[in-house]
Amino acid sequence: MINYLWAFMILIGIVVGVLGGNIAEISNATINSSKEAVSLCIAMLGVMSMWTGLMQVAKKTGLVTSFTKALRPIICFLFPDIPKGHIVNEYIASNMIANILGLGWAATPMGLMAMKELKKLNNNSDIASCDMCTLLIVNISSLQLIPVNIIAYRSQYGSINPAEIIVPGIIATTISTLVGVIFATVARKLSKHR
């Protein structure tokens, strides 16, 4: 997917540029962009490491485990087909917590493990089970509360108050997740009645 997207972007850009007479700008942009990517990563290094450092402390103190227990009722509601005490509950809980805390790279492995287990629970069928659909919709609606990387970018580009978008962002992401949950729950009920 990314191969086509990337190649497409470059080819289209160059063609439009030639047609529009912007070839010099394109040439400069290529070099400047690569330099910019590096200075950006240097800025990100600070913010990212600060955040993952803090999260590691949270993980070690067991705060994360207690949050997992707290999520249990929500998981029972969203995924009623999963037998209580099945390991997949842990995976889903960890996946959601990691997403909420902005640890996308930790969330994905947990999410993938959950999917594998859900498939087993679904008789290894080729068709997505309702639980799989719900898990994905919730994931994609973005559970992340604090968008650390966006804050880092804003700071790098001169924002006076980079963190000001946190609460509005939380409100927006809560709404998108709520809508996603409603959709998934309604779709589940509809498909059961078929």
Partner 1 sequence: MEVKVNFIVYLSDYIIPFLFFYIIGYSLLTKTSTYDEFIKGAEDGFKVVFDILPTLIGLMIAIGILRSSGALDLLSGTLKPITDFLHFPSELLPITLVKMFSSSAATSLLLDIFKEYGPDSYLGRLVSIILSSTETIFYTLAVYFMAAGVSKTRYTLAGALVSTLAGTIASVLITQLVF
Among 57, 83, 85, 192, contact with partner 1 (rule: CB under 8 A): 57
C-beta atoms surrounding 79 within 10 Å? 24
Residue 86, phi-psi category: left (phi > 0), alpha (psi -120 to 50), beta (remainder): beta
Tell me which of 84, 160, 192, 194 binds partner 1, using CB under 8 A: 160
Q: Report the residue number, 87 or 140, with the smaller CB distance to partner 1.
A: 140
Which range in 68-76, 78-86, 168-176 contacts partner 1 by CB under 8 A? Answer: 168-176
Judged by CB under 8 A, the chain residues 96 through 155 that form the site for partner 1 are: 105, 108, 111-112, 115-116, 118-119, 125-128, 132-133, 135-137, 139-142, 144, 146-147, 149-150, 153-154
Interface pattern 12-51 for partner 1 (x via CB under 8 A): xxxxxx--x-x--xx-xxx-xxx-xxx-xx--xx--xxxx
Place of tokens 């010099």: 24
**DSSP secondary structure letter of residue 85:** T
Is the Cβ–Cβ distance between 173 and 143 less than 8 Å? yes
Q: 58 and 101 in contact (C-beta within 8 Å)?
A: yes
Stretch that binds partner 1, among 72-80, 86-94, 177-185 (CB under 8 A): 177-185
Considering beta carbons, is residue 83 or 160 the nearer one to partner 1?
Answer: 160
Q: Does 72 bind partner 1 (CB under 8 A)?
A: no
Among 69, 123, 168, 193, binds partner 1 (CB under 8 A): 168
Structure tokens of 49? 């490491």
Angle between helices 23-60 and 2-20 (to 10 degrees): 150
Among 123, 158, 193, 194, which residue interacts with partner 1 (rule: CB under 8 A)? 158
Compute the radius of gyration of the chain from its Cα atoms.
Answer: 21
Q: Is 169 in the site for partner 1 (CB under 8 A)?
A: yes
Least separation in angstroms between residue 25's CB and partner 1 is: 4
CA atoms within 13 A on the CB side of 42: 5
Say whether residue 78 binds partner 1 (CB under 8 A). Answer: no
Q: Residues in contact with partner 1, total (CB under 8 A)?
A: 100
Q: Which distant-in-sequence residues (6+ apart) come within 8 Å of 35 by Cβ?
A: none
Query: In sequence order, what are the residues at sequence separation of 6 or more whose Cβ sits closer than 8 angstroms to the Cβ of residue 142?
Result: 99, 173, 176, 177
